[in-house]
Structure 1
Amino acid sequence: MVQPDRKSFGPSIDIDDYKQTEEALRERERELFQLIDMVPIHIWRMKPDGEPTFFNKQKVDFLGMDVGDTDKPGMTRLAALVETVVHPDDAAKLADTLGHSLVTGEHFSMRYRLRRADGVYRWISSRADPMRDQDGRIVQWYGLCHDIDDQMHAEEALRQSERELQQLIDALPVHIWSWTPEGKLSYVSKRHLNLLGISEGSIEDFARMAQELVHPEDAPEVERTAANSIKTGDAFVMRYRGRGKDGDYRWMEGRCEPLRDQDGKIVQWYGVSLDVHDGVRAREELRHAQENLARASQAASLAELSASIAHEVNQPLTAVITSSNVCQRWLAAEPPNIERAQKSVERIARAASAAAEVVSRVRALFRQSAETRDPIALGSLVVETRDLIAEEATCRRVRVNVEIENGLPPLAVDRVQILQVLINLVRNGMEAMESVASDRVLRMRVRRSGDVVRTEITDCGPGIEFPDRIFEPFFTTKGHGMGMGLAICRSIVESHGGQLWAENNEPHGTTFVFTLPLVDVKAPFAHQEP
């Protein structure tokens, strides 16, 4: 019997989609791992008990080892890793913190130092969270680390700068404080607190005591000034008396200015208080000293005025005495020389008149009368001076030469005062030549020099040792002098708008020079009859 052919039959399943899906999944997994390796942070994975199972490439490169390289006999992989790569000062704390998270399932976060492959420790910020299944059981821990070493050093540098700044603020001999934009106290320097006997950090105590720390007489003005600045945004500077911890008030100078942002809005007020007590007291003492000096100066001025009056009156009185003696000699002669005596009497009259005019000028000064100035030819005053001192010059064996430029315009001067100057300078010149044995010549020269009239009185004496000081009041080189004559002469010349000085001649002698300005004498005297 022929058996029928037996055939095998089986199923055939199309798995192309499955294979493609599986390949796509593997591709996605490769991309994921590639991405994890490329991310510039350290990514790691642990089992629920804390055993490391994965490091990404960034972490492997940083540590110089992979997970398998951390195995050590007799130690868990985690303990071996901590011991190997974590800074000894941070290892214990890291183990405790991470162990707590593994037991409780709480989030892990910590900063610590991790050793790089080259042996350098760098600060790392690390965090990890658990992944749980649908029943809430932890199946994996995923964590990441990123290098914050530069940030940590920057923060430490900033903290160091802040410490140094605080030390500087505490060392400065000023009191520093700040307000919020609304004017609430936000900072007081340690020195300020110590001054008031308040413990550091007790800003609230300071704020409560602030109103009591200002002298009651100054407090209202301080409050008004501060309130106005808060309202207007204007800076202020003011002085007030502040109370110290000893209860004494001292003068302080407060300065406050706002700090604004780029939009001009005030973000903080900063102020300083400086102790100016010693300076204020010093200024008060200086003011008292100046008042005393002013009173002393007034007394000295009175003494100087008295001396000047005596000096100026003494000149014509000396002329009176000299001419009187001469008159007596002419009258006592046999026969009496009436003509000569008459001239002496005339000189006595002129000298007495000059003394009277000096007194009149002093009286006018006290009445604050205006100076009497008339248009006068200076040459005529020089000639008058020569005539007034003629007898005295003869007695001193002095020859007086006068040289006056022709055509000099008249000057608006006080006749008596300019005459006083001329007589004083001539007498000084004659006295300077007392040591000259012969040829005692005094030259008086008047000429125009630009817009001034220049008068020179030259002697042939030994010269002056201190030509700049001889015009100082009470400075004299004469044993019997008062030191007022030249000072008065300079004051008179300068009151006329001129200058007076002395020059030493070569090889010897001195020239006194004074100038008087040329002015239009018609205008001031337009009221006079021609």
Structure 2
Amino acid sequence: MSYVTILWSGAAAAALLLGIVHATVWLLNRQAWSNLALAVVALSLSGIGITELGMMVSQSPEEWGEWARWCHLPLFFHIVAIVVFVRLYLGAGRRWLMWTIIGIRTAIVIANFSSPLNFNFDSITSVARMHFLGEEITVVGQGVVSHWQWLATLASALLAIFVLDAAITLWRQRTKDARRRALFVGGGILLFLVLATVSTQLVIWGIAVMPMLITPPFLISLVAMAYEMTRDTLRAGRLAAELLESQNRLELAANAAGLGLGVWDARTLQFWATQRSRGLFGFEPDEQIDVDSVAGRIHREDFPRVREALISSIGTRARFQVQFRVCTPQSATRWLASHGDVVVDPHGRLTMIRGVIRDVSEQKQTQEEAEELRRELTHAGRVTMLGQLASALAHELSQPLGAILRNAEAAEMLLSTPSPDLVELRAIVADILKDDQRAGDVIERLRALLKRRQMQFSPLSVETLVKDANTLLRADAAARHVALECCAGDALPMVAGDRVHLSQVLINLILNGMDAINESASSRRRITVAARNVEDTSVEIAVVDSGTGIAADRLPRIFEPFYTTKANGMGMGLSVSRTIVEAHGGRLWAENDVDGGAIFRLTLPTLQGSAS
């Protein structure tokens, strides 16, 4: 076998191997477009080497011309791939010049296969034999150059200008990495492009009798490009190792803090999760995780909330934060808290979700226990409060019950007569029903206050709250010789709240006011309850007493738990009342009236204000 066959076949095989390697890299990472371009450069160079070898071993002008025709096909892909590689890898090069070169080379390859012989020659009359690398090869002897050959020469010149412009642009960035790329890649391509172009043009125009030498110069430039890409691959490998070490350290720190980390790539639909995250969701260390498996572990009642949090985060580009339950095969249901962010591309499409997860089951249990204690304390407060009103409420009930008894006795007397007055009997029955309703209302309010229950929010009239308090307290107020004035207009907007709990707050405030004026003269004992609309967003209820007010040093502390100024007080009434009001989204505070006495104000958001 001749040296020419060995060298050109070896060059084609080397280029083929490089092309396969970089094509494989692109298949594994579809974003590595530079590797795809380099793969096309290498594979097309392999084709150029085969056609060049065919020209050198041709036995006739026709055979040489046919090999030259087929050389244009890999040459087209080779030049286009070089232009694209320079544009992608160097990040430079004028776009209009790139498309001009691609357009000219496209026209050349079309004209090449449309011509009788090939694009370069209209005819080849003879071939010659010459010594090359110690053996005889075939070269062009005499031929007529195509009158369109200047177009191919122009395309080669534009390609050189394009590469030179890209290298200069990169060099001007003044960074070490940019200048190395400009020198090795840009300079390497330019140098061997000029050598290949000059030798080819000398042969075509008949200036020199020698073989077409496209493969050797371009093979050297291909090696330069592959070398630089290999440096990037090695650097990427080092970065991957450093990233893995950083990931291990991050996972170690997250595990120490009881946190799990997770990433979902929307492009590949792959999940990455630390062992802590896998354990929290009940996945095995080597178990494959996908969207369906994660969604299947989230409690069905909580899944809509999780989905809504993610959709909102995608739309607003804000961080998401959500708590939800997971049901795992290994253990009972647990509560998880997750927060993180989403990544979208410039077109607004989701590309990635990153989040941190931690187990909050114990915190949830503690919150539930604290809520249970709060309910028990609130209930105890209501029972204690009603205990204070026992005698007054007994009097409040005795009035309608006594009236019922008297009306019943009167009806019995009328029925004993020979001709009972039916009109009078109907009036007596109506009075009995009215008094029964009155007593029933008091008992129903007592039952509601004594019942141990959770907050149940519903549309509520402030006027109803004030009337409830007035109904339960008017007898006690009368017994204390306190003038209780309640004023709530019918035009007040509705609020969202729990009727029993808010009634407890209002009753507690009124009772505190009556306690504060016990030492005042009977003529000055007055409690005023008034409600007003505040800018259509909230309703304010004010409880005003006619006492001496609150001492300045005590005013900041009256809402503290177990702080009291009463001899037999527990100091929990105002603290519980503020907790109830804040649970409704409102405020409760106290201030001294300029005319004397204290004012307790509470605000509750209206239904419209809550919605906004």
Q: Could you say which structure has the higher helix fraction?
A: 2
Q: TM-score range by the shorter chain?
A: 0.3 to 0.5
> What TM-score does the superposition give when structure 2 sets the normalisation length?
0.33
Max radius of gyration: which structure? 1
More strand by share: 1
- TM-score, structure 1 as length reference: 0.38
